[in-house]
Structure 1
Amino acid sequence: MSRSRLFLITPRSIDLEPFAAELDEALAAGDVASLLVAVETTSEAALQRIAERLVPIAQARGVAAMVRGDSRAAARAKADGLHVDTGIAGITDAVEKFQPKSFVGAGGIKTRDDAMAAGEAGADYLLFGMIDLPEAPEPHRKSIDLGHWWASVFEPPCVVLAGADIESVTDAAGTGAEFVAVRDAVWAHPEGAAAAIRRANLLLDAAATPNGEEDA
C-alpha cells in the first residue's frame, strides 16, 4: 500500500504570533504535505491577516497551503489553493475561477453522491470528515467508509480526517487515502505539536509496510 501523507489543519482559534512559532516547529518535525488554514473568525480582515502570516511559513517548509472558504484571503496570502465546503455550487464556481492556477479542494461531503459530484466538478482533492464538528478520539465511521470507497475506485486524491487521538492516524491511513488530516490530534497532543507530527509519521510509515511494524 502506498504511504499516506499528512494534511494538517489549523486549530479553530489561535493566538497568532505564538501559534506561528508553534506551526513552524511542527512543520520542521516531519513530513507534512499540506496545511489548511481553517481558523474560525467572523472577520474577513482577520482571516486575511492570519493567512498572510501562516501561508509563507508553510511554503517555506515545502508545504502546500490552502485557505478555507475565502478566495480573497487565499489570493492575497498567495496560498496554493482554496478549500470549499459550502456545497457543489461553490466547488464548481471555485474550479471555474481558480484552476489551474490554484488548487481547489472539496469538503463538507456527506454522501457518495456528494463525492461524485465534487469529483465531476473537477475538485483537486476531496476531504472526508466534518471539520466543524467536535472530534472524537477515533475517526468517524462514515469518513472511513467514504475514504475507503473513494480511494479504491476513483483517481482524484482524497483526505480522511483522523480522530483526536494521534494513534487514529493508522485507521485513517488504512483506507488507502493519499492524505490523512489531523487537527486536534496535533494541537492538543500532550507532548506538543512537533511530537505529534513525529508520531504521526511513524504511524504512517508503519501503515504502509507489509507487516505494519514501526521502525525502531
Structure 2
Amino acid sequence: MATKSVPARPVPRIYLATPELDDPQPLIASLPGLLATADVAAVLVRLKPVDQRSMISQAKALASAVQDSGAALLLDGRVELVARAGADGAHLTGIAALQEALPSLKPDRIAGVGGLATRHDSMTAGEIGADYVLFGEPDALGQRPSMEAIAERLQWWAELFEPPCVGFAASRKEAYEFAAAGADFILAGDLIWNDPRGPAAALAGIEQAIRQAYHAVAGKAGAEQG
C-alpha cells in the first residue's frame, strides 16, 4: 500500500448518512435544498429491509436526487443492489464483507469499509483495495471509542496511508476534532437529523466546524514553518 505524499491538504468534506429509510419520498423532496447548504461529497443511504424490488426502486429515486446535486450515493451494505439501483458504491462493515464485495464493485464503483477494530484490520482494508476507511462508528452494541482514541487513529492513518479516512462524528465538537486530526471526510448522521434547528442548520454548522478546524491547523502549520 502506497504511503501518503504531502501536498496541500484540501478542506475535509461531509459524508451524510441518512436515517434508516422506510419511505424515502420526504427526504427525496428535501435533498436538493439540503445538499446545497454545505459541501457534501457523498450520501450513505440506509434502507429498511423490505422486498428487493422496492429497495431498488427507492435507491434509484434517491440516487437521482443525490447525484443531480453533485454528490455520490453509496448504499449501506446491499451490495447486490448497487448496480441495479445506479448507486456509486457501497459501505461495508468488516474485512470479510469488504473482501466478498470487492469483485462486484471494482473497478467501477466505490467500496468503503468500517468496523475496523485494530490497526492491522485498517491496513489490511487499504491493502486489499478499500476506497476509504471509517473510524469511530458505533459497534453492534452501540459502543464507540473515546473521541481522543478516534482522533488518534485518524491522525495515524492520515499521516501514513494514501486511501482517504473518514471520521464518524456524533457531535459538532467531534467533527472539529476529527477534521483537525486529519480526516478527509466527516460522516454525519443522527446529529444532523436529530438537531432541533433542522437538518439544514445542523449541516451548515458541521461544515463551519470543519472549516474552523482546517484553518486552525493550516495556520499552526504555517506558523511553524515560518
TM bucket by the smaller chain?
A: 0.7 to 0.9
Normalised TM-score (structure 2): 0.83
Provide the residue aligned with 2:86 in structure 1: 78
What is the SS of the residue equivalent to 1:3? coil
Which residue of the partner structure matches residue 112 of structure 1?
119
Give me the whole-angstrom Cα distance separating, in 2, the residues matched to 1:114 and 1:43. Answer: 33
The structural deviation recorded for 1:182 is: 0.2
The amino acid across from 1:159 in the alignment is V
Structure 1 runs (4+) deviating above 4 angstroms are 131-136, 138-141
Distance 1:166 1:15, change over 3 A: farther
Deviation of 1:92 after TM superposition, in Å, equals: 2.0
Question: Which residue is equivalent to 1:146?
Answer: 153
Aligned-residue sequence identity (percent) comes to: 35
Aligned length: 211
Higher strand share: 2
Q: What residue is the counterpart of 1:202 in the other structure?
A: 208
Kindly report the root-mean-square deviation, in angstroms, between the aligned alpha carbons of the 2 structures: 2.6
Does the C-alpha gap of structure 1 residues 178 and 109 become closer, same or farther in structure 2, counting only changes over 3 Å? same
Larger radius of gyration: 2
Deviation at 1:16, TM superposition (A): 1.7
Kindly indicate whether the alpha-carbon contact (under 8 Å) linking 1:4 and 1:204 is maintained by their aligned counterparts in 2. yes
- Structure 2 residue aligned with 1:161, among 168, 191, 203? 168
Flag the 1:65–1:2 CA change in 2: closer, same or farther, 3 A.
Answer: same
Cα distance change on mapping 1:129 and 1:48 into 2, 3 Å: farther
Partner of 1:103: 110
Task: Give the Cα–Cα distance (whole angstroms) in 2 for the partners of residues 29 and 135 of structure 1.
Answer: 30
Aligned partners of 2:180 and 2:217 also within 8 Å: no
Change (3 A) 1:198 1:147: same
* In 1, Cα distance between equivalents of 2:49 and 2:216: 43
2:223 paired residue number:
none
- Residue ranges of structure 1 left out of the alignment (5+ in a row): none
**For residue 122 of structure 1, what is the aligned residue in structure 2?**
129
Question: Is 1:53 matched up with 2:61?
Answer: yes
2:91 maps to amino acid: H
Residues 89-141 of structure 1: per-residue CA shift (max 9 Å, x gap):
321232233211111111111111110111111111111123566879x9744
- Looking at structure 1, the residues matched to 73 and 176 of structure 2 have their Cα atoms a distance apart, in angstroms, of 24
Q: Give the whole-Å Cα distance in 1 for the aligned partners of 2:212 and 2:140.
A: 28
Q: Give 3-state SS (helix, strand or coil) of 1:33's partner.
A: strand
Instruction: Give the letter aligned to residue 78 of structure 1.
Output: G
Distance 1:184 1:150, change over 3 A: same
- Residue 57 of structure 1 aligns with an amino acid whose one-letter code is A
